[in-house]
Amino acid sequence: MSSLWQRLRDQAHQLTERNPVLRDYATSHLLAYSTFEAALAANLARQMQAQANTLALESWFKSIIDSTPSIGQAAAADINHLEVVNPACPDHLTAFLTFRGIQAVQTYRIAHALWTDGDVQSAVLVQNWAANTWSIDIHPAARLGRALFVDHGIGLVIGETAVVEDEVSLWHGVTLGSTLSEAGDRHPKIRRGALICAGATVLGNIEVGANAIVAANSTVLKPVAAGTVVAGSPAKVVGNAPASLATLTTKTKG
């Protein structure tokens, strides 16, 4: 993570040299802090402060991040992955400061730490504040991996017993929900490298296999085999997933 922190600082200095108008912004949002974890806590708190009135969110979030090293490690993995796969992201600093998918997922990680520690009420409060801030609603009991690509994110809903493994891509308007006919473990399991496109709905305790693709606006009610593409409502297999997607493997930077 130290390499990411140095890269963020270098990019913040480059920003101020290129546009001196943003010097105070870059300083207050990143350069004023001595660690990645401190800057992360401060930026999440700043985004959500309106939801929490005068509560000292920054110090609270910092204490949780410091006591749960996996939060900072996962955040770094998310940022590094996003910078590689998202052609709309010019650099790591932009991912850290502006991408709501990054910010909402890291706030989920804080809420998840609270939930795991038994502080359920606080966890749900943080979940609610995050949903009101970014329009992304992730239950604090859900289990999310690292190196996630949450693109745009607006309208994303992830239910309580959902599992999202490493390197999964989730686009805006995605719902990982229940069918209301199941109790207990009732939400989808999205395996490593799967891609759930915009507006797709995956319902019930079913598995979307590794590297599978769920097409936009599909409704998935049955398991999806690894490496397949499904589309439609209800979703049906329409082909095999390509080994790589140009959108996620090539970037053009100005």
Task: Please give the tally of structural domains in the chain.
Answer: 2
What's the N-to-C CA distance of the chain in angstroms? 27
Secondary structure in 3-state letters for the chain: CHHHHHHHHHHHHHHHHHCHHHHHHHHHHHHCCCCHHHHHHHHHHHHHHHHCCCCCHHHHHHHHHHHCHHHHHHHHHHHHHHHHHCCCCCCHHHHHHHCHHHHHHHHHHHHHHHHHCCCHHHHHHHHHHHHHHHCCEECCCCEECCCCEEECCCCCEECCCCEECCCCEEECCCEEECCCCCCCCCCCEECCCCEECCCCEEECCCEECCCCEECCCCEECCCECCCEEEECCCCEEEEECCCCCHHHHCCCCC
Q: Would you state the pLDDT for residue 37?
A: 98
CATH at 197: 2.160.10.10
- CATH code, 28: 1.10.3130.10
- Residue 211: predicted pLDDT: 96
Tell me what pLDDT residue 226 has: 97
Q: Report pLDDT for 253.
A: 47
119 falls within a domain: yes
Same domain, 104 and 171: no
- In a domain? residue 250: no
In a domain, 249, yes or no: no
Whether 48 is in a domain gets the answer yes
**Distance between CA 194 and CA 171 in Å, rounded?**
11
Whether 95 contacts 103, CB under 8 Å = no
Q: Which two tokens stand for residue 183?
A: 């109790």
For residue 38, what are the domain limits?
1-135
Tell me, yes or no, whether 103 and 6 share the same domain: yes
Residue where a domain stops, chosen among 82, 111, 135: 135
For residues 155 and 126, membership in a common domain is answered with no
Whose tokens are 């890269």? That residue is 7
Same domain, 10 and 120: yes
**Can you give the pLDDT of all 254 residues of the chain as single tens digits?**
589 999 999 999 999 999 999 999 999 999 999 999 999 999 999 999 999 999 999 999 999 999 999 999 999 999 999 999 999 999 999 999 999 999 999 999 999 999 999 999 999 999 999 999 999 999 999 999 999 999 999 999 999 999 999 999 999 999 999 998 889 999 999 999 999 999 999 999 999 999 999 999 999 999 999 999 999 999 999 999 998 876 776 565 44
